[in-house]
A and B are shown apart, each in its own frame.
Chain A
Amino acid sequence: MSKAASMFRSKKLDLSGFVNTRLIRDHNKRNAFEQMEPERQALRYMIRNTTLPQRVRAQAQLQLSQMHVYTRPTQIKNRCVASGTARSVFRDFRLNRFQFRMQALAGELPGVKKASW
């Protein structure tokens, strides 16, 4: 198996909105994980099942560790949809704190209101 990350890249950009290289890379990782998740879970099951022969479990461990790094869920990082920033991203809005503030003050986020008391 080749280790090139380009194999997870879509031929044509399938994203709209803000786009930069790091955001596309994260998107590719998400797609790769989605595609390989059943296989990963099957291997994880084999590793955890103590009734299987030790050899089979060791082979499953090896296979799981040799899968492409892009298929790992820990590689996925939530990035801001509007600016691509990876830090302080609100999960509920998929925006980082600055974009959230700007959009909230502009009234683009329904139900969000500046607190005042």
Chain B
Amino acid sequence: MPQPRLLDLVKAQCRIFSLTFNPQRLRLGNKILRQRLRGPALAAWYPRKTVSFRDLQNTYKPLGLTTFDEAEDDREEAIQIAKLRGKGRPKKKRTAAESRSAKKKK
């Protein structure tokens, strides 16, 4: 087969399969454009946040519905017990003078 006919064939092939016609074999960097994007797969490595109990609580609170959180209930109960034993948190110092006098006592 003559050379120009072959070139025409390759050209038609490239047109049909949407390839780049490059008979001089220049480096056109098309292999970069052929690569798939890896970003979405890489970004999906760690599990994303899903709906939590706290979210449900926050959505239902404005509607006037009450929710029961056992862990939160336990925590508040423990705080009450600690307060009764005199082991609660110290009172917040509102002014500079108050905090100074508290330090001196020690």
Contacts and interface: CB of A to CB of B under 8 A. Distances in A.
Contacts of A31: 43
Contacts of B40: 34
B28 A27 contact: no
Interface string B39-67: 11011011111101000000000000000
Contacts, number: 72
Band of interface residues on B: 20 to 34
Interface of B: 26-33, 35, 37-40, 42-43, 45-50, 52
Q: Is the interface of B mostly helix, strand, loop or mixed?
A: loop
Interface stretch (A40-48, A96-104, A107-115): A40-48
Contacts of A46: 29
A39 B90 CA distance: 55
A16 B43 contact: no
A49 B42 contact: no
